Structure 1
């Protein structure tokens, strides 16, 4: 989890803030604000998939958070560039092959799946470039 990548002194602050936002979501389940804040925290700790979940939650409530859509679009734009990078890396690895390339590919598989999953949600969310989806 990305929260563990933070310095030890910062981790409790992030965890404490996250617990307050979870508590706020329980108290005001119809408000998108706490979910948006949890998404922002997940985004800043490089947890794209978790951030997408919370941004969608912040939009799918009775009182959606007004800027969550824009935040989500920014996340999808960042993800689009990351997706382009891994697609190019996979194409290069396929050309050059070798055992070393397959070991690197196995190590990054979970990250690649997450990046691709977020990319798919980005395509479906804004319905732009859906012709890029493989059949």
Structure 2
């Protein structure tokens, strides 16, 4: 039996546009934390994602320090990129960030960035800045 943990980050941009990234940690029942796979679904067919030797820079930069699988997504809904660290050189936060950036590059050709956080000096502004800063590598919004 496989269990999944899903983290969803949403950012509202100009004109009310919303960008959503979903990254799931996949694992089997007996797996420990290092065996968890992170996965993103890319809204492109597997042929458009390309072979392993032509991955977007964020994933290509990690090279042999990660294990990567490119598989068709369930229900013919695009392509799933699954990755996990192959050693101790890559943190899960860095891998999560690389997957998010690779998804953005494959789908749009650019890395989408969240709008800058609030500069309000009050307590709510401080909380929002901290959450936005942590969201790139595993924080939750």
- Normalised by the length of structure 2, the TM-score is 0.22
In our comparison, the structure showing a higher alpha carbon Rg is 1
- Normalised by the length of structure 1, the TM-score is 0.23
Q: Which structure shows the bigger proportion of residues in strand conformation? A: 2
Q: RCO higher in 1 or 2 (8 Å CA, sep ≥ 6)?
A: 2
